[in-house]
Every structure is written in C-alpha cells, then in structure tokens.
Structure 1
Amino acid sequence: MISSLELRHIIETAFLPTHCVCIVDSSNSLVIQLINPTTEKEELTVTGIDPRSLASSRDIARFVAEVKEEMRARAQLPDKLYRRA
C-alpha cells in the first residue's frame, strides 16, 4: 500500500497547474480541494475518499481522470444552474 504522504504528493501533482490540497481527515479519509491558480477560487472539493481504494497507479489515474471530468463538466455549466464548490 502507498503511504499517505506519497499518495498526497501523487494526487497533488496530478492536478497541476490547478492547485490541489490533499489532506487526511479525522476519519482517515482523504479530502481534496482544487483551487484555480488564476482566480484563487475553489473549483471543487471531494470528500470521503478511502485511501485504500487508491492502492495502485491505475486506481489513482482513474480517480484523477474522474475528478478532472467532473471539473470540466462543472466549468461548462452556467453558474445559475450549478453552484461551484
């Protein structure tokens, strides 16, 4: 299994140039905050991620791809229809 510190580093660098803050909360779940580097506004927060579900490079790549797709989908919707996190 990948250590929490290494997993955080991998996830945070996977979202560059978007600023990503990855923390482990009190329930040992990951919380990921994605912040637009230009506007410094939070784009998305993902909570409740079980680190055990990210045990391989494929798991991590799939997770990152899903979150990036969610960010693209949110960016295409007008603010009136969808409130960004």
Structure 2
Amino acid sequence: MFLSALELRNIIESSFLPKRCQCTLTPELSMTIKVYSDRETDHLDLIKTGIDAKHLNGCREINELITELREDMQKRADVQPLHPDRKAL
C-alpha cells in the first residue's frame, strides 16, 4: 500500500460527503466501510467488511472501490420499500 492508513481513510471517507462515512482498518489491512444516511442518525446506507486494503495500491484501485460501493448503495436504495407514510406517485 503506497498510502498511509490515515490517508486512505481520509480519501474514502471524504468521497461520500455529505454523508457520514466511517472507515476502519485492522493491522492486517482488512478494511470495513460504513456509510450512514446522514450526520445525525445511525441508519446505515451501506456496510462492507473484509475489504483487502493491500490491493489498494493506486488511484485506480481506490476509485474502483469507491465506485463499487456507490453502486451497491444505489442498488440497495432501489430495492428498499417505500416508507409507510409515503405514497407512490
């Protein structure tokens, strides 16, 4: 890994702004990423565990990971049912 853990966390967490993102990294470089709906609640939009950060050796790999996570979030949002108080148009 060419970046420090702090730099890698900062890149990933800032890529999901304005949502709150928490990135944790074990000493073995296994990463967990949590993306929250907003800054006030603990409602998760996405959680991804077991990411091997050893393979994040450059901008391309980091961008591919972020793109994959965003696509996963979008798929999850597309299949969630409407809240009971909201009506379909």
TM-score normalised over the length of structure 1: 0.83
- Identical positions, percent: 35
Match for 1:6: what amino acid?
E
Larger Rg: 2
CA deviation vs aligned residue, 1:15-68 (integer Å, no higher than 9, x gap): 111110001136431111110116621111111111111110111111100100
Q: 1:8-47, aligned counterparts within 5 Å?
A: 8-25=9-26, 27-37=28-38, 40=41, 41-47=43-49
Q: What is the rounded CA distance, in whole Å, between the counterparts of 1:37 and 1:19 in structure 2?
A: 6
Say whether the 8 Å CA contact 2:29–2:54 is kept in structure 1: no
Q: What is the rounded CA distance, in whole Å, between the counterparts of 2:59 and 2:28 in structure 1?
A: 23
Provide the residue aligned with 1:83 in structure 2. Answer: none
**Structure 2, unaligned runs of 5 or more:** 82-89
Instruction: Give the paired residue count.
Output: 80
Say whether the 8 Å CA contact 2:23–2:32 is kept in structure 1: yes
Q: What is the rounded CA distance, in whole Å, between the counterparts of 2:66 and 2:80 in structure 1?
A: 24
Provide the residue aligned with 2:7 in structure 1. Answer: 6
Provide the residue aligned with 1:73 in structure 2. Answer: 75
Runs of 4+ in 1 over 2 A off after TM superposition: 25-28
